[in-house]
Amino acid sequence: MYERIREKLGILADAAKYDVSCSSSGSNRKNENKGIGDAEGTGICHTYTEDGRCVSLLKILLTNHCIYDCAFCVSRRSNDIKRAAFTVDEVVELTMNFYRRNYIEGLFLSSGIFKDADYTMERLVCIVKKLRQEERFNGYIHLKTIPGASDELLREAGLFADRMSINLEMPTETGLKLLAPEKSHAEVKKPLKYIQNSITQFENEKALIKSVPRFVPAGQSTQIVVGATPETDKEIMHTAHAFYQNFSLKRVYYSGYIPISNDSRLPVIGSQPPLIRENRLYQADWLMRFYGFKVQEILNDVHPNLEADVDPKLSWALRNLDQFPVDINTADYYMILRVPGIGVASALKIVQARKFNRLYESHLRKLGIAFRKARHFIRYADSPMQLKEFEAGHIKGLILSESKSKYQKNPDNQLSIF
Amino acid sequence: MELYIFDGSLEGLLTAVFECYRRKSAIVKLVTEDRHVPDVFDSGYHVVSDREKGKRVWKGLCAKLGKDWQLRFYKTYLSEQPEAFQHLLNFARYIIDQPAGASENFAHSDVLAVSQTAQKVHREKHRMEAFVRFQKTGDGIYYAHIEPDFDVLPLLPEHFQNRYADQRWIIYDLKRKYGLYYDLEKTEEIELDEAPQMSIINALPSNLLDPKEELFTLLWQDYFKNTNIKARKNIRLHVRHVPRRYWKYLSEKQG
């Protein structure tokens, strides 16, 4: 008995690990029924895997049986691997017992497709319903939408889940058609749109009637696989941007492709996943969502790819030296946010502190900014006199020579894939 | 400069602030009794903790500090660090002397120090919320112990109470020898006469545990292994997120 459940968990956790979404925040589900769990506040990472990724949810597939044959997926029909499927009760019991021991914030449930979309989706719904209604579980539940499932099932799932998501997989339709001829972006857009509209509808009703139930309170997200197909960073980020705009997504995740098959359409097994590129994409995503950058400022036809050796914010600054130096004591908040080496928290502190006194180098160093990086782009009360303006290449050289970046040793091995 | 010696309590610290004004002391160096080394030339002034005086100072501070800063003050106190006590005394005097809003002056060294220390304590509190691993005992209580860098136990009840409303639990601080016990109604501070003996590093002896406890520990360890992607191995990042000093309390690190 022990051995069978351990084997299943092994197989179905292993198969789910390529889904990188890990967030457990942004919901508003309070423990109001003296039940168990509380998904109201910020999420918690309970541990980290040895690859450095956060473990916040029990992330598993219901089954890795699948009728589809997508080249990039471990669970594809033609792959010769061990198959398994959980029962509804097994998933419920695992979730509850892991949660009670403070191992996890909740459940991330995805699935291969058993027979058809609805048959599979029905089982997922059955699990969330049981957790919420019978176990009085208020922890976080992220449910993967099964492409092609009916609106009724989507709606029911949305009443119990905190977040729903459906993966775009490849950044462009062409890329997707190449690797998964049976799938299309249109098939992803339809449920995303349906859930988005339902969220709005529930919110509008809530304004009128207090007792309206919650519907996907933590919103929707999606995932894009990076480096399996030859899209540029520009194509990837512009797709992400369009999806943020059109479907009000909470997050787009970027997953550096890890070769798992000998398919000639894909990078060969053993080639390094594009980790730096993935990291740069997340940084660019951050600039878009929290720093007020427009996607065209970061990536455009002249500059279609992010650089490996410098982060996108520094890269933008070096290309726009005419906007600098920024005077820390007078510049507006958004311009301070654009200085390389200054983050949201320190930008806020700067704006607060300068109401009391002019800020000097000694203040800035203590406030927690990356001064060595920022100093090339700012003026402050005791800035050294500068006779000539440095040019971009020179500044970049200075910053790189002073930094201990882990990327410096091998800056090229990533971009050369294309 | 005058030397003030206090008993290390929050009440004592607030009383010390009161005494600075009553005695019109310009510059005060604050030290706890257990760290004070008596000196022939400077015997120092012994602050006698006083509830009323403490309250008056706290009320004065609250009038000028928002809820977030009141909490920061408390968190910085819980850091148990000698230099933090000094910063709190200076900070309190600065706030009292200035018009409301002075707490936003992050260029002021005591404001910055209080804010940064509070942030450290907050991080440790958050880590405890993440890294506590309960074990279900034979009598149905979920038990965990911790050894946080700072005394964060007083910051934890609300979080765990909201979350585990339908199970009884104990979180015990081995270093400071007291714990929290939630009995389905309320959370209370407790002291165990004898903290349970550990068989292996983070486990209660099996005779105290629920029969299924071993299975769930195993399943959790399996899960931890299987969710790792070997091609992306990055131990440096792993250790940055889960510093080694916490490993002995994490069941997934024992497998």
Task: For chain A, give every domain's residue range.
Answer: 1-23+42-298, 312-402
Å from A177 to nearest chain B CA? 26
Å from A246 to nearest chain B CA? 32
Q: How confident is the model at residue A41 (pLDDT cuts 50, 70, 90)?
A: confident
Å from A392 to nearest chain B CA? 31
* Contact (CB<8Å) B241/A5: no
> What is the SS3 string spanning A158-199?
HHHCCEEECCCECCCHHHHHHHCCCCCHHHHHHHHHHHHHHH
> Is the separation of the CB atoms in B15 and B50 below 8 Å?
yes
Among A4-13, A34-43, A85-94, which stretch is predicted with the lowest mean pLDDT?
A: A34-43
Residue B132 at interface with chain A, using a CB cutoff of 8 Å: yes
Whole-angstrom Cα distance, residue A147 to residue A113? 9
Q: What is the mean pLDDT of residues B101-110?
A: 96
DSSP B19: H
Q: How confident is the model at residue A391 (pLDDT cuts 50, 70, 90)?
A: confident
**Looking at residue A387, what is its pLDDT?**
58
CA A283 to chain centre: 11
Whether the predicted interface score ipTM is above 0.85: yes
Task: For residue B194, give both structure tokens.
Answer: 């004898």
Where along chain B do its domains lie? 2-125, 132-253
Whole-angstrom Cα distance, residue B79 to residue B74? 9
* Contact (CB<8Å) B164/A44: no
**Looking at residue A2, what is its pLDDT?**
85
User: CATH classification of A1-23+42-298 is 1.10.10.10, yes or no?
Assistant: no
Q: What is the mean pLDDT of residues B10-36?
A: 96
**Looking at residue B254, what is its pLDDT?**
85
Of B126, B226, B238, the CB nearest to A14: B226
**Looking at residue A417, what is its pLDDT?**
40
Interval A171-211: pLDDT, tens: 999 999 999 999 999 999 999 999 999 999 999 998 888 88
**Looking at residue A415, what is its pLDDT?**
46
Q: Which residues in chain A touch residue B222, judged by CB atoms under 8 angstroms apart?
A: 6, 9-10, 13
Of B105, B163, B220, the CB nearest to A356: B105
Edge-first strand listing for the sheet containing B178-182: B135-136, B142-146, B169-173, B178-182, B187-190
Q: What is the mean pLDDT of residues A160-170?
A: 96
Of A50, A136, A349, the CB nearest to B233: A50
Q: What is the mean pLDDT of residues B55-81?
A: 97
Q: How confident is the model at residue B151 (pLDDT cuts 50, 70, 90)?
A: very high
More confident residue, B255 or B215: B215
- What part of A 352-371 touches B (C-beta under 8 Å)? 352-357, 359, 363, 366-368
* Radius of gyration for chain A, computed over Cα atoms and rounded to the nearest angstrom: 24
> What is the SS3 string spanning A48-109?
ECCCCCEECEEEEECECCCCCCCCCCCCCCCCCCCCCECCHHHHHHHHHHHHHCCCCCEEEE
Q: What is the mean pLDDT of residues B106-112?
A: 96
- Report cis status (omega within 30 of 0) of the bond before A325: yes
> Is the separation of the CB atoms in A76 and A69 below 8 Å?
yes
> Is the separation of the CB atoms in B143 and B196 below 8 Å?
yes
- What part of A 251-280 touches B (C-beta under 8 Å)? 256, 258, 272-273, 275
Q: How confident is the model at residue B41 (pLDDT cuts 50, 70, 90)?
A: confident
* Contact (CB<8Å) A356/B104: yes
Q: What is the mean pLDDT of residues A212-229?
A: 95
**Looking at residue A211, what is its pLDDT?**
84
Looking from the CA of A312 toward its CB, the CA atoms found within 13 Å total 29
* Contact (CB<8Å) B135/A101: yes
- What part of B 198-237 touches A (C-beta under 8 Å)? 212, 215-216, 218-220, 222-224, 226-237
Å from A52 to nearest chain B CA? 4
**Looking at residue B172, what is its pLDDT?**
93
Q: What rounded mean pLDDT belongs to chain A? A: 93
Task: For residue B111, give both structure tokens.
Answer: 């404001």
CA distances from A153 to A195, A198, A332, A401 (A): 11, 13, 49, 56
* Contact (CB<8Å) A275/B232: yes
Q: How confident is the model at residue B197 (pLDDT cuts 50, 70, 90)?
A: low
Instruction: Flag whether pLDDT at A124 surpasses 90.
Output: yes
* Radius of gyration for chain B, computed over Cα atoms and rounded to the nearest angstrom: 22
Residues 6+ apart with CB under 8 A from A218: A23, A25, A26, A27, A39, A140, A142, A162, A163, A250
Q: Which long-range contacts (CB under 8 A, 24 or more apart) does A152-157 make?
A: A153/A118, A153/A121, A153/A122, A153/A125, A154/A121, A154/A191, A154/A194, A154/A195, A154/A198, A155/A198, A156/A125, A156/A129, A157/A121, A157/A124, A157/A125, A157/A128
Residue A2 at interface with chain B, using a CB cutoff of 8 Å: yes
DSSP run (H or E) holding B6:
strand B2-6
